Copies of this chain bind each other. A is one copy, B any other.
Amino acid sequence: MTVVYTHEVAQSNTWNFFKLLFRWRGSLWKVLWPELSLWLVLYTLLSVIYRLLLNEKQQLTFENIVKFWSAYAGNEFVPLTFILGFFVSLVISRWWDMYLSIGSTEKTAVHIACYIEGDDEETVTLRRNIIRYMVVVQTMVLSKVSASVRKRFPNLEAFKTAGLINDSEQQVINDFESVHPKHWLPIYWAMALIKKAHKDGQIPSESYMLDLYTKLSEFRAGLGKLSSYIAVPIPLAYTQVVFLAVRLYFVIALFAEQYLIQSSIGDNAEDGKIRKQPELSFKFAIDLYFPFATVIKFFFYVGWVKVAESLFNPFGTDDDDFDVNAIITKNLQMGLAIVDNGVGKIPEQSRDLYAK
């Protein structure tokens, strides 16, 4: 379910944004803690081995490895930020477009309520069924896309149980033999119903009918776009490059950011080697047992890549993923409510307060 926090930053003072840091759902902390914990455990392990288990010669070798990777592990050896910037931009623009493509029955429902008048049961059923068919096709597409929808609607039987289709409709779908998806069937039913309603005079004008077709078409187009986004993801190699670059950076940092015993006594050991490493001297000025600086880098780089990873497939079960089951329910309930015979009651028209 999307994490909403917009209202809390209505005023942009620092305090409001500061408070955001203490949220858990959808937060940096929640996405980061498993990896950070793992990293810290490994880091400590290495540190302990180096300090307690290795003999002097092995320590020297270890220190050489540390120095070797230290020289590379500046953020210049693989410029993470740049690729992250472009990758996150790409993921976010796809994510937002996916959200806008899910679609809602509201607009169509309001037009149906306007165009198809009548309180008799047949007409009411007609209106309700068009909405229902829209939700059916949406559920069909989303069940391909989202694991949680697939879990709720594993097969047509589940559709029937949930009241989305009835026996007759299940029959028609099953009778239609095709290796290809049948998402278009309910849309076709809705269109055929509308055409029939036009013939029967329930929809008085051809223009109304075509307008409804356009609305249905837009709704279907959104769902089609959604399928495309899922069927043709960002190329695997790109995702792998980004994932690998960030993780390798911190695997290397396991070594590169180790604080060396030797360094804290660097001034005494005037052995030429040390003198050649002026750029490292501050790092070893105080022998910190906790790698503060690296942890901050971890928050930054892994946090940034996690934004991309959690938006990559927004139909999953992450905190920030779209709550598609709720969307389906809302689309059904609201759509049915709008087209039901409850509407049609427009308030009495009277002059407004400001009329002369």
Contacts and interface: CB of A to CB of B under 8 A. Distances in A.
Contact of A297 (B12, B25, B78, B217): B78
A354 interface: yes
The DSSP consensus for interface residues of chain A is helix
A5 interface: yes
Complex copy number for this chain: 5
B217 A107 contact: yes
A168 to B, nearest CB: 4
Name which of A11, A92, A297 has the most chain B CB atoms within 10 A of its CB: A11
Nearest to A165: B347
Contacts of A99: 228, 232
A184 B342 CA distance: 13
Contacts of A100: 225, 228
A25 B179 CA distance: 25
Given A99-B228, A285-B64, A354 B277 contact: no
A244 B21 contact: yes
Interface string A323-356: 0000000101110111010111111111111111
Interface residues of A, number: 178
A57 interface: no
A10 B310 contact: no
A156 interface: no
Name which of A12, A83, A240, A285 has the most chain B CB atoms within 10 A of its CB: A12
Given A83-B85, A232-B2, A20 B240 contact: yes
